[in-house]
Structure 1
Amino acid sequence: MVRTPACHFCHEAEETLGALFRARTINLVVVDADSDDGRDLIARHRPALAPLVLLDGEFFSSGRLPKHKLARALGAARLTVARP
């Protein structure tokens, strides 16, 4: 997940994804948008809104985290979102 400061969608997504991480359902990596990695991911995936969420390294969503879509995706894949 690539987050920006003062972003309520980022905060909500980080809470949801953090709970899944603590339950050992996903691997979580959270990156600040102003970091080198964050800028690289934003340039590569060009999200319309923050946060940018990747699923196994591929674009999953931007903006408000789609929880139903996430639940479906977790049935078929491992979610990778990060904190370096």
Structure 2
Amino acid sequence: MNRVTEARATTGQPVERQPVPRATLLTTSACHLCEDAHAELARRAERGELSLEVVSVDSDEGRRLVATHRPAMFPLVLLGGRPLGHGRLSRRRLDAALRSGRVR
């Protein structure tokens, strides 16, 4: 039984889901770090920890993000619209950001 079902069974009231943080993954082609970050973020999105938007650097949105954030390397990961990191995804930093509850 998951937490939502447990809460409903105990209180009889539907449980409101908290909004999940939005992760934006800015990727480029032939990038193994991009593929690794995508796999991890997709797993977390499947578990409901975050919502995931993947943006190609070659798109209009991708060019806008590069101009705004000037990543030193790819991928660039934004969480709640703020840079979480670039290059290899730090799972510790991601965990800490998600635990903090300050990201939306």
Is the structural similarity TM-score above 0.5? yes
Q: Residue 64 of structure 1 aligns to a residue in which SS? A: coil
Aligned to 2:92: 68
Of structures 1 and 2, the larger Rg is shown by 2
Identity %: 43
Q: Which structure carries more strand by proportion?
A: 2
Aligned to 2:80: 56
What's the C-alpha RMSD, in Å, of the aligned pairs? 1.4
Kindly indicate whether residue 52 of structure 2 is the aligned counterpart of residue 46 of structure 1: no
Size of the alignment, in residue pairs?
80
TM-score in terms of structure 2 length: 0.73
Q: Kindly tell me: are residues 56 and 50 of structure 1, through their superposed partners in 2, closer, same or farther at Cα, counting changes over 3 Å?
A: same
Higher relative CO (CA 8 A, sep ≥ 6), structure 1 or 2?
1
Aligned to 2:59: 35
Q: Residue 52 of structure 2 aligns to a residue in which SS? A: coil
TM-score in terms of structure 1 length: 0.89
Structure 1: 5+ residue stretches without partners: none
State the AA in 1 paired with 2:99.
G
Structure 2: 5+ residue stretches without partners: 1-24
State the AA in 2 paired with 1:32.
S
Q: Residue 49 of structure 1 aligns to a residue in which SS? A: coil
Aligned to 1:12: 36
Aligned to 2:8: none
